[in-house]
Structure 1
Amino acid sequence: MATGLLLLALALLAVGASIGSTGFEGLLAARHDAVALQILLDIRLPRTLGAWLAGALLGLAGAVAQGLFRNPLADPYLLGSASGASLAMALALVLLGVSPFATAWLVRVGLTGAAFAGAIGGVLLTLLLANSVQHTLRLLLAGVIVGVVLGAAKDLVTLGAPDILSAMQGFNLGSTSFVGWTACALMAGVWLLCVAVAWALGHVLDGLSLGEATAQSLGLPLPRMRAILILVLALATGTAVAQTGMIAFVGLAAPHLARSLVKTTHSRLILLSSLAGGVLLMAADILARWLLAPQELPVGVLTAVLGGSYLLWRMHKRGGGLL
C-alpha cells in the first residue's frame, strides 16, 4: 500500500508541475522556453512538493493524535496549535503595520516563524493548563479551552485591525501558493524526524489502544512516552501550519483512509496516514489550481469538501460509525 501511495504521489507531482494559470500546459514547454522552465522549477514543483509534505505532516500528526487520545475524531489541532498559530499571525500582521521595531524583528523571524511559534505556544499553554500529560481527559479539556480562548483573542485583534482581514482569511483557508524550496527542505527535515520518532514509539500507541491500565501493566513508561508523542504532534502540526496556513480535514481524514485500506500496527499506520495525507493535500492543491483557472480556490476549502465527504461516506457505509 505504501508503494501505491508513493507512485500516486509521483503521478500527482507530474500533474501538478503541468498545471499553470490557464490550465494544463504540459512539461514539454519547459524544454524550449526559459521562462517556462523557471516557472516549473521555482514555482510549480516546490508548490506541489510542498503540498505533499504539508499533507504528510498533518496526516502523521492526525494518526498520532487519534492513537494518543484513543479517539477517531481527534485531529492535529486538538491541543490548541491552530488557535495559537492564528493569534500569532494576527498579532504579527498588526505589528508589521504599526511599529518599525516590530517590523524589523518580524522581517528576521518572518510570518511563518510567528505562526510556528504561535502553534507551539498553544500546545505549551494546553500542557500548562493540564498540569500533566498523564490524564487524557484533562489534556482534551485544556485543549478545547485554549482553542476557544485564543480563538476569541484572535477575533478581538482582527476586530481592532480590520485591514488584516484579507490576510487572515487567506491564512485560515490555507494556501500553498508561497511554498518554496526552502520551505520544502524545512518540512522534509521535520517530516523525517517526526516519522522516525513516531515509528519508534508505535508500540506505545498499540499499548494505549488496549487501555491505559493494560499499557502500564506491560511496563510502558507512559508519561515520558506520551510527552514525546505530544512533542511530535506539536512539531509536525506547527511546521505544516506555518507554511500553508490552516488546512482542514487532512489530519482527520488521512488516518481513517489508511485504516480503511489495511489493518495494521500504529507504526505502519502512522507512515501510511502520512503518505495518504500527502496525496490528499496534493490532489486538493491541483484541483484548487485547475477547477477555476486562472483563478484559484482556497485549498483548505477543497480539503474540507474532500475529507468531509469521505468521512460522511464512511459513516454511511458503517451505519453511523467511523471505526
Structure 2
Amino acid sequence: MTVLDKAVEGDVTAPARRRRPTGALLTGGLAVALVGLIPVAASLGAYPVPVGHVLASVRHHVGLGGGELDRVAESVLWNVRFPRIVLALLVGASLGCAGALMQGVFGNPLAEPGVIGVSSGAAVGAVAVIAFGIDFLGTWTVSLFAFASGLVTVLLVYAMSRSGGRTEVVTLILTGIAVNAFAGALIGLFLFFADTAAINQITFWQLGSLSQATWPKVLAVLPCAAIGLGIAPLYARRLDLLSLGERPARHLGVDVERLRIVLVLVIALLTAAAVSVSGIIGFVGLVVPHLLRMAAGPGHRLLVPASAVLGALVLLAADLTARTVAAPAELPLGVLTALLGSPFFFWLLRRTRRRQGGWA
C-alpha cells in the first residue's frame, strides 16, 4: 500500500468511514427523492398529465407494457417535459459537483464555480452572439459560443494567475474577480449596441431558464456532464489530503499543481456546459455542498457524488417551482435560486466569521 493510500485510509477519512452508513443512507434517500420527483415534475404544468399516465407512457416507450396516451399528452411529455427534466438533472448535477470540487480545490467553503470566471465568460460569448445577430450555426450558435468562451476564460484566468510554475489560490481567486468585472463591462458594452429584441433575449438568458430545453440541447450537454461527473470522484482521496494543507499533501505524494490544473478544467467543463444551455444559475454550486457537508461530514468520496445527486434534485425542484408557482407565467430560474441562495450565503458568512472569531 502506498503512502497516499495509508494516509487516506488511516488518517484523513477515518471519520468519513465511521459516518459511511449515514452517508450511504443520505445518498440513497436523495436518489429516492429524485426518482420520486421526476414523474411529479412531468405531470405538472399548463397541460396537467396524471402521474399514473406519465408512468404508463414511460413503460410503453421502454417496452414494459403500459398504454400510449393521446397525441397531445404524448407530445407534451416527450417533446417538452422530459427534455426539460433531463436537462435540469444534468445542469443541476454539473453545478453541484463543480461546487464541491471548487471548495475542495480552493480550501474555501465560500467558493463557487463563478469565482474563476467561467459563468461570466460564457455569458460574454452568448451575449455577443445575441447582440450582433450571429447565427451561422443555427440554434446551436449561442450554446457553442457560450461553452467555448467559458472554457477560454478559465484557461486565461489560470494562465494569468501562474507564477514561477505554481498557482496560488488567492491569486487565482483575485484574477477571477478581475476577469468577472471585465466580462461584466463587455456585456454592458454589447447591450449598448444591441437592439430591443436582442436586449430582451439577453436579459432572459442572463436570468437563467430551462424553458428552451430540447433533446438536441440535452445531447449537447450530456457528453461534457458525463466526462466531468465521471472524472470528479477519482480525485476524492487527493482532495481529502489537500484539505490538510498544500505542504502535507505534497509530502504524502500529491502533485498539488497537477491536481489543481485537472480539477479546474473539470470545473470549467461542467460549468460551461451547464451555463451554455441554461443561462446563469447561481448559488447551486455554493449551497449544495454545504448542506451535505453539514449533514454527512467533509469526506469527498461521499461529498462529490452526493453533491451531483442533490444538485440535480435542487434544480429540478426549483425549475418545477419556477414554472408552476406563478402559472401561466414562468419565473426566471436563476432569479429563484438567487432568492433562495442569497439568505443561505449570508447565514453561512456570519456563521463562518463567528466560528473564526472575526476576520479583522
TM-score with structure 1 setting the length: 0.91
Instruction: Give the C-alpha shift of residue 189 in structure 1.
Output: 2.9
AA aligned opposite 1:141: L
Superposed counterparts of 1:18-33, under 5 Å: 18-21=43-46, 24-27=48-51, 28=53, 31-33=68-70
User: Corresponding residue for 1:66?
Assistant: 103
Query: In structure 2, what is the Cα distance between the partners aligned to 1:118 and 1:142?
Result: 17
AA aligned opposite 2:93: A
Query: In structure 1, what is the Cα distance between the partners aligned to 2:355 and 2:208?
Result: 29
Instruction: Give the C-alpha shift of residue 313 in structure 1.
Output: 5.4
Q: Say whether the 8 Å CA contact 1:21–1:295 is kept in structure 2.
A: no
The answer to whether the aligner puts 1:10 opposite 2:41 as a matched pair is no
Instruction: Give the C-alpha shift of residue 320 in structure 1.
Output: 4.8
User: Corresponding residue for 2:173?
Assistant: 140
In structure 2, runs of 5+ residues without a counterpart are 1-25, 58-67
AA aligned opposite 1:26: P
Q: Say whether the 8 Å CA contact 1:80–1:147 is kept in structure 2.
A: yes
* Farther-moved stretch of structure 1 (45-54 vs 311-320): 311-320
AA aligned opposite 1:288: A
Q: Say whether the 8 Å CA contact 1:173–1:247 is kept in structure 2.
A: yes
Larger Rg: 2
User: Corresponding residue for 1:99?
Assistant: none
User: Corresponding residue for 1:103?
Assistant: 135
User: Corresponding residue for 2:16?
Assistant: none
Q: Say whether the 8 Å CA contact 2:131–2:199 is kept in structure 1.
A: no
Query: In structure 1, what is the Cα distance between the partners aligned to 2:225 and 2:337?
Result: 20
Instruction: Give the C-alpha shift of residue 204 in structure 1.
Output: 1.9
Alpha-carbon spacing, 1:152–1:314, altered in 2? closer, same or farther (3 Å)? closer
Deviation track 1:18-57 (CA, whole Å, cap 9, x = no partner) reads 11226x4424387542111111011101101211210110
User: Corresponding residue for 2:12?
Assistant: none
SS state at 1:37 partner: helix
Deviation track 1:158-214 (CA, whole Å, cap 9, x = no partner) reads 112242221111111100111222332343332232122111111221122111111
Query: In structure 1, what is the Cα distance between the partners aligned to 2:122 and 2:179?
Result: 12
User: Corresponding residue for 2:250?
Assistant: 216
Alpha-carbon spacing, 1:319–1:54, altered in 2? closer, same or farther (3 Å)? same
Deviation track 1:119-172 (CA, whole Å, cap 9, x = no partner) reads 112111201211355311111111111111111111111112242221111111
TM-score with structure 2 setting the length: 0.82
Q: Say whether the 8 Å CA contact 2:42–2:85 is kept in structure 1.
A: yes
What is the RMSD of the two structures over their aligned residues, measured on CA atoms? 2.1
User: Corresponding residue for 2:301?
Assistant: 267
Superposed counterparts of 1:24-103, under 5 Å: 24-27=48-51, 28=53, 31-96=68-133, 102-103=134-135
Deviation track 1:276-309 (CA, whole Å, cap 9, x = no partner) reads 1111111000001110111111111111122234
Equivalent of 2:236 in 202, 209, 212: 202
Q: Say whether the 8 Å CA contact 1:13–1:49 is kept in structure 2.
A: no
Superposed counterparts of 1:244-283, under 5 Å: 244-283=278-317
Query: In structure 2, what is the Cα distance between the partners aligned to 1:317 and 1:216?
Result: 31
Q: Say whether the 8 Å CA contact 2:161–2:167 is kept in structure 1.
A: no
Q: Percent identity at matched positions?
A: 35
The answer to whether the aligner puts 1:123 opposite 2:115 as a matched pair is no
Query: In structure 1, what is the Cα distance between the partners aligned to 2:123 and 2:324?
Result: 28
User: Corresponding residue for 2:264?
Assistant: 230
Query: In structure 2, what is the Cα distance between the partners aligned to 1:201 and 1:242?
Result: 25
Deviation track 1:36-91 (CA, whole Å, cap 9, x = no partner) reads 11110111011012112101100011011111111111111111111111111111
Instruction: Give the C-alpha shift of residue 321 in structure 1.
Output: 5.7
Alpha-carbon spacing, 1:34–1:276, altered in 2? closer, same or farther (3 Å)? same
AA aligned opposite 2:242: L
Query: In structure 1, what is the Cα distance between the partners aligned to 2:343 and 2:315?
Result: 14
In structure 1, runs of 5+ residues without a counterpart are 97-101
Q: Say whether the 8 Å CA contact 1:89–1:111 is kept in structure 2.
A: yes
Q: Across the two proteins, how many residue pairs are aligned to each other?
A: 315
Instruction: Give the C-alpha shift of residue 264 in structure 1.
Output: 4.4
AA aligned opposite 2:161: A
AA aligned opposite 1:12: L
SS state at 1:20 partner: coil
Instruction: Give the C-alpha shift of residue 103 in structure 1.
Output: 3.4
Query: In structure 1, what is the Cα distance between the partners aligned to 2:311 and 2:341?
Result: 10
Query: In structure 1, what is the Cα distance between the partners aligned to 2:50 and 2:344?
Result: 30
Query: In structure 2, what is the Cα distance between the partners aligned to 1:143 and 1:208?
Result: 21
Instruction: Give the C-alpha shift of residue 109 in structure 1.
Output: 4.9
